[in-house]
Amino acid sequence: MAKKLITVTVNGRQEEKAVEPRTLLIHFLREDLNLTGAHIGCETSHCGACTVDVDGQSVKSCTHLAVQCDGSEVNTVEGLASKGVLHAVQEGFYKEHGLQCGFCTPGMLMRAQRFLQENPNPSEAEIRAGMAGNLCRCTGYQNIVKAVQYAARKLQEPATA
């Protein structure tokens, strides 16, 4: 199968790679770019373990083709922290014990950060609805909700210089 050259900006870094047209974004990230944070779970877009951001939208990378991202900006869990400082959602999951086994966590973090950009001051019901596309088999979700609430509060704090 003939490969197609794509250019994608991943976590702020431009990448140019030749990929087969059938290559899924999750495999491109994990195998070609060695970004293994996003996990392969159900491979049907139901679990959300593979969630990443593509051009400001949450995307399940297990059903999205890499060639669809040509010219796009992709952000993965590896790009959340900045200069060694955890993103507010990462801090929230840590402080509020929003994870157990950790398998769903990268997708949860990516969806949570996008959700909070879409809705910076959500109610508990809105958080549950906004995170519904990401499944967890361990936590019972209560601490995930607390983690997103924590991050929402933290992101609303005035920046300190």
Whole-angstrom distance, CA of residue 10 vs CA of residue 29: 9
Q: Are 9 and 53 in contact (CB under 8 A)?
A: no
Of the pLDDT bands very low, low, confident and very high (cuts 50, 70, 90), residue 40 is: very high
Rounded to two decimals, the pTM is 0.94
When pLDDT is averaged across residues 133-150 and rounded to a whole number, the result is: 95
pLDDT tens string 80-98: 999 999 999 999 999 999 9
